[in-house]
Every structure is written in C-alpha cells, then in structure tokens.
Amino acid sequence: MSWKERVIGIEELRPYLPNKSEPDFRGLVEGLAEQQLATWPMLRDAVAGLARVEYKGLRVRGSEVLAQFNPQRIVSTGAKVDAAAIKQRPCFLCAENLPPEERGIAFGADFVALYNPFPVLPRHLVITSRRHIPQAIEGNFGTLLDLALDLGGEFFVVYNGAACGASAPDHLHFQACERKSLPIIREVDTWKGRSLSNDSGVETFTLKDYRLNALITRGNNRAALIEWFDRALQRLAEITGAESEPMINLVVTRDGGRWTVIVFPRGKHRPDRYFAEGDAKLTVSPAAIDLAGVLVVPQPDHFAKITSRDAEEIYAEVTLNKTVFDTWLRSE
Ligand SMILES: [Zn+2]
C-alpha cells in the first residue's frame, strides 16, 4: 500500500467530521481519530488500554513527575535500536509495512499524520516522512514549528533524536499528543526562570534548580527561531564533540501567538539501570515525553518500586551535565 492509498481524502473522512464546513488540519486530525477508532481494532484496543494506565506521582527537586505504568509501551522502551537490529526489521513507518487499516492525513507535501497504536498520551500522533530517510532535525525544524501551529494549543509536538529515544532512527518522524497532562508545560510558566537573552524576537531562558537542564526559547518569528535553533544546535555539536547531530529531544507548543521550544540536550541514551541485572534493573528509556515529566515504566514490578530518587538519578544521568550545559549557554 502506497502513501497515496494510505492518505485519506476529505470525502472518505466526511462521515467522521463533526460539521460540514471545510476542516483545517486540526479538524482532519479529529476526523481521522473517529475514522480510525471505527475501523482499526488494534488502535481501539490501544486507546482503551490507555484509559487503564496507572500513574504514580513523584517529586523530583520540587518538580512534578508522573510515572506511568503502560505495559503497551514495552515495544518501544525495549526496542533494539542498534544499526544491526534496525537493518533486519521491516521499517514500521514505511507505507508498505503499516497495518492495512492504518490511514493518515497529509501534512504538507512530505509528511503524513498517523495515529500511534502504542500511545503514551491521548491523541498520540506520529507524523512521518513519506520517504525512508534518517531521523534528523537539520532542515526539518521549521516543519516542527508548522506542526505545532497547525495542531494548535491543545497539542504539543516532539522530536526525538536518532540516538535519544526515537524507535525508528532510520525514518524521519515527529510525534504529537494532547498537552494537558504534561507537567513541564505548566512548570515553564510557573517555575523561577533565568533569562539568558531576548533579542531579534527570540527570548531564551532556563529553569533555576530544575530537575534537569533544559534550554527554553520563545518567539513568534518563525525565521528567527529557525536561525536561533540552527546556531544553538551547531554550538552544541561543537561543545559535545558530536560527529553528526548532537543528542537532543525537543518539545514544542504554540499558544498566545508564539511558539515555546524546550530543548533537552542529552548526555546519554539509556541509563545504566536499563542494562542492570536483578534488583537494580529499571526498564526506563527516556525520550522527550519522559523528560517532559511523564516517565513511562512498562514493567509492573519496576513501576511498583520506582521512587522520586530513581527518577532524579535517571534524569541527571541521561541529560547534559551542568558544566557542559553552562558552557553551551555561555556560547549564546
Ligand atoms: Zn521507513
């Protein structure tokens, strides 16, 4: 099945749309949810499963973290993402390998929005490139901003770097979910910030004594944000000695006429305890949503035992340490 066949046209979607007017992208995404829930049992089961996930509230240095017991996510958390394993498996983001019932909405000429059959949060979308090209943010950051704009204020959008939690590092894609339960989005507005700069329509700041080192930028000028991001990424690559893309996760929201971009520079992909044996083992593999405060724990015994202290250690371990982070900020 090609993308042409996968992408659902407005006429086919019409019975699932709430009214007769011409819907925008957001409206089509809503209609797609109805169509997919009606015709794709796997997604229906997954969404029902999401309603049953359990949460455990943790406090990490005063910040809210929700540990989420979500057994469906073992597929992603436990995914082998080394080059050999990736080469051997059929790519699950290529049109010909998707389940037959899976349909999508075109996003621009190059991307298709699909519903994720392994959701972490409600309305979990995967926005995949029509081409099987490697996961990379260079040249695609503008698309991420456009996606946040077109989905609107109820969503957040995500980029997971190829070596930072993306389970398809070989196929360019973004994700999006409903934003209301994501702790960091509230905390960005309420936590004590440290302003770094505010010029050319781009404001940058960090959160003081926060549970991890994140750089936040805000602005309403798309071109200025892209220019800022490209420079910041380049400097991060230099400072961390990255040969290709530096390790990052991104969360982007859009409201009040401006974008907010949260950049999580990474120190490593998976914490040591992911690979530990026995009691010390904790199957947690952080990507953007985990860093943003919904920490997915697919194993029941690991969910039962995880503490605020464990979460604090994991965040510190997989994000960029303060010395290198501060060097990066000073290079602004
Ligand atoms: Zn692919």
Examine the pLDDT at 19 and tell me if it is beyond 90.
no
Examine the pLDDT at 303 and tell me if it is beyond 90.
yes
| CA 131 to ligand 1 center in whole angstroms | 7
| CA 98 to ligand 1 center in whole angstroms | 10
Per-residue confidence at 166, pLDDT binned at 50, 70, 90? Answer: confident
| CA 288 to ligand 1 center in whole angstroms | 21
* Paired residues of 38 in beta bridges: none
Examine the pLDDT at 76 and tell me if it is beyond 80.
no
Strands 155-160 and 248-255: antiparallel
Query: What was the pLDDT predicted at 167?
Result: 80
| CA 81 to ligand 1 center in whole angstroms | 14
| CA 124 to ligand 1 center in whole angstroms | 19
Examine the pLDDT at 41 and tell me if it is beyond 80.
yes
Examine the pLDDT at 20 and tell me if it is beyond 80.
no
| CA 88 to ligand 1 center in whole angstroms | 12
Query: What was the pLDDT predicted at 29?
Result: 96
Examine the pLDDT at 249 and tell me if it is beyond 80.
yes
| CA 172 to ligand 1 center in whole angstroms | 8
* 157 DSSP 8-state letter: E
Examine the pLDDT at 324 and tell me if it is beyond 80.
yes
* Paired residues of 174 in beta bridges: 127
Percent over 90 (pLDDT), the chain: 88
| CA 332 to ligand 1 center in whole angstroms | 36
**For residues 77 and 286, is the Cβ–Cβ distance under 8 A?**
no
| CA 111 to ligand 1 center in whole angstroms | 12
State how far the Cα of 69 lies from the Cα of 294, in Å rounded to an integer: 10
Per-residue confidence at 21, pLDDT binned at 50, 70, 90? Answer: confident
Examine the pLDDT at 184 and tell me if it is beyond 90.
yes
Examine the pLDDT at 91 and tell me if it is beyond 80.
yes
Query: What was the pLDDT predicted at 200?
Result: 82
State how far the Cα of 198 lies from the Cα of 200, in Å rounded to an integer: 7
Amino acid symbol at 121: L
| CA 274 to ligand 1 center in whole angstroms | 27
Task: List CB contacts of 138: < 8 A, sequence separation 6 or more.
Answer: 230, 233, 245
| CA 159 to ligand 1 center in whole angstroms | 16
* 8 DSSP 8-state letter: P
| CA 180 to ligand 1 center in whole angstroms | 30
| CA 170 to ligand 1 center in whole angstroms | 7
Per-residue confidence at 12, pLDDT binned at 50, 70, 90? Answer: very high
Examine the pLDDT at 83 and tell me if it is beyond 80.
no
Query: What was the pLDDT predicted at 270?
Result: 92
| CA 93 to ligand 1 center in whole angstroms | 5
- Smallest CA-to-CA distance from 119 within 80, 170, 158 is with 158
